[in-house]
Amino acid sequence: MNPPSDIALIDSFEKIRSFLLETEPGLQATVLARPQDCAGWDEHPPAEYAEAFLGVVLGVDRQTAAGRRIVHDHLRELRNRTEPGGSGGVREGEPLSPRRVLFQASRREAFVKKNSDVLAESLRRLSPDGNGRIPVVDALAGAATLREAVARLRKALRLLSGLRAYAFLAQIGYPVVVPDGARQRFYQRAGWVGEVVPAANHPQEFFEVSERIAHLTGEPLLTIHAVAGLFSGARDMRAAGGDMLGVCVGRPRCESCVLKAQCSFYRYRGGLKPTATRGIKTLAVAEQPRTRFETLGPSNLSEIELLALIIRTGAEGKSSLDLAREILARFGSLEALSRAGLGELCQVKGVGRAKAIEIQAALELGRRLQAGGGMVIGAAVRRSSDLFALYRGQLAHEQQESFYLIVLNARNRIQNHFLISRGTLTGSLVHPREVMKVAVKEVAAAIAFIHNHPSGDPDPSEEDREITDRLTQAARLFGIRVLDHIIIGRDNYFSFADHNLLHEG
């Protein structure tokens, strides 16, 4: 997927914000009245961090009176466990207050009892130490990136797994847009990201787009968080009006949406009327996809029409256009469709193994064309961006790590390329001896390495760095220059040469 342009992002965001404010003008003085930066997230009273933590792990909304009451009740009980002379918390058979009886049989109550020790330890880490410092807050303050902050948070507070870590950060005012299902679904429909990624896998593309919007509009990330949450009906914004203002929800109100012109959901499910049970031949000749292809050219056909031409026939009770529409609606975008396996395609009613193979074959041809195909051989490599442009189409959407050796001549033109390994990148799979054997056999004047990160985040791991050092040192022994090692993410890349990380000695 090509990333949206700056102008498109600004225009989309302003349309959404204007829609929200026209619908509910009071938002400007409430949830959208954020400070212009996120300074101060590390200066809250200790109780605020504890309450935010409990609110997140218990799944209650502290913006409501009922939510605040639940948090305060449980906080009081858990503190009794940790404070000298405390009652030790809730014990088996201990009489409960009338208010507590209301929640005794709930899953929340069971969760607290099961995790009472872990909760109590987490609250200790959210309390000031002997120097008046809060350990968890200090750990967050020392993080250089959001990924590092989340990792530190999850290590210190074990119950903040998955989405909870991001929700806690947003609760305390840390600069983040929570990557919950509602917001990610909205980003995907708007064409801002290619896919919805589990929060546990750190959806890098989602965060990059959020940061771009904040940079382009001058708004703090928490405002982006609020606008996206209100428009998508996110759970954490329901008390602020998201339940009434939400447009891009599970069953979206497409007719009210200011972004429907660019929305894949509207395009595949709401914007084009189905042909019901009519076959293609019942359409007027001029309206049939094959005729439109011949008279107007492929660039003027919709994605549904092009896919219908590939699958050729429909299924019982539906035309090829109907089936094509269902396939695209199921996966949400061409990019998501390109990553679908045969089994996933066959789950669409009317798509058998033969049709699934035809679809995958057509998409593979497109990938190879984007990658340059035969044009890669003989291409000149002058900078890291040249390698990225040549191989991104082939590697950006691979579901496994694939490591390639690129062989170049004395003029830095590509002679050949070889797949060295596929799977987890480890020293056992990428051994310098085997890589150099290929390079020497090909009489390489220079070489480069390239591999992908299926997560979409191209930042190198420690193992990536170690393998690069070993390969570079091995090449030096044979007198072969190493031009670069680039790691391809979803829409960007990391270059070891650009970061001066190719150590040859």
Mean pLDDT within 169-181:
92
Q: Which fold has domain 373-495?
A: Cytidine Deaminase; domain 2 (3.40.140)
Torsion angle, alpha carbons of 62, 64, 67, 72, to 10: 70
Mean pLDDT (the chain, rounded):
82
Most confident of 53-62, 112-121, 220-229, 272-281: 220-229
Q: Which class in CATH covers the domain with range 272-369?
A: mainly alpha
Domain ranges for the chain, please list them.
6-38+176-255, 46-171, 272-369, 373-495
Mean pLDDT within 23-34:
74
Helix (H) or strand (E) holding 110: helix 107-114
Question: pLDDT tens digits, residue range 64-117?
Answer: 777 788 888 888 877 765 554 444 433 333 333 444 434 433 677 788 888 888
Q: Nearest 5 degrees, angle CA 309-CA 313-CA 318? A: 110
pLDDT for the residue 375:
54
Q: Which of 351, 352, 363 is nearest to 397 (CA)?
A: 363
Mean pLDDT within 380-400:
84
pLDDT for the residue 113:
81
Question: pLDDT tens digits, residue range 300-318?
Answer: 788 888 999 999 888 877 8
Question: pLDDT tens digits, residue range 423-434?
Answer: 755 444 688 988
Mean pLDDT within 222-231:
92
pLDDT for the residue 281:
66
Note whether 272-369 and 373-495 share their fold: no
pLDDT for the residue 231:
93
| Alpha carbon distance 260, 19 (integer Å) | 13
Pair 247, 237: CB distance under 8 Å = no
Of 332 and 191, more confident: 191
Indicate the range of 6-15, 179-188, 193-202 predicted with least confidence.
Answer: 193-202
Question: DSSP string covering 396-455, please?
Answer: TT-SS-EEEEEEE-TTSBEEEEEEEEESS--TTTS-HHHHHHHHHHTT-SEEEEEEE-TT
Q: Is 498 exposed, middle or buried (0-12, 13-18, 19+ CB in 10 A)?
A: middle
